[in-house]
Chain A
Amino acid sequence: MPALDRAEAKRQLDASLGITTYVAPATPMKVGLTTTIGTDTTAGTAVIGGSYSDQNLGPAAAVVGSPTTASNAATISFTGMPDTTSNSVKAVEIKDNAGRRWGYGALTTARTTASGDTLSFAASALVFSQQ
């Protein structure tokens, strides 16, 4: 699902070609919810309100395949969601613990929450792939 942020793509490409040393992200990696879908260079609009906060991604190691994929190892729960009936949750943003953007991705289906709901993603619901 997610696409890499353009700056992260450069970091990975340069490192894998031996041009520079990859600066590892500050862990834990974080996942945030957005009401707009980001682009390769710009983050989506973050959900605000309630007692919402970004959560730990908890990724499992990648599985080689076509494409090679990685996903969240366990359920991720966003508690205390605000009312999103007029502006549904459409995408996620992935970043490191210092706020360095890794990538973004649209949800298969936008989700709507009432105030006080929890929005959870079951293990393996968020899938990241690379050829």
Chain B
Amino acid sequence: MTLIRTCISCTQTDDHPKDIVDHGTFMVVWHLDCHVIATGCPSCKILLAAADGAKGDELRVHLVSLPPLVLDEHGEEVS
């Protein structure tokens, strides 16, 4: 089953990979690129840096093939 969600920023509804942000009592869903543009989200920025413009299924394949990413409190990658 493919999840169809709506990006809060561009309002497009699709099955592209999203950043699902849990605020405790509610959640907000972003396309990764929309999240970078709107807020500068550091984790989305890192994920997209090597994606070479991929979208949708191509981006999904790229994301799950990445090595595990551990981020510090500033959203910087922990080496």
Contacts and interface: CB of A to CB of B under 8 A. Distances in A.
Interface in B2-26: 2-3, 15, 17-25
B69 interface: yes
B24 to A, nearest CB: 4
B20 A111 contact: yes
Main secondary structure of the interface of A (DSSP, over half): loop
Interface residues of B, number: 37
B52 interface: no
Given A76-B71, A114-B18, A118-B17, 13 more contacts: A51-B68, A54-B70, A56-B73, A58-B72, A73-B73, A77-B19, A79-B46, A114-B3, A116-B61, A117-B3, A118-B47, A119-B22, A122-B24
Interface of B: 1-3, 15, 17-25, 27, 32, 41, 43-44, 46-47, 59-61, 63-75, 78
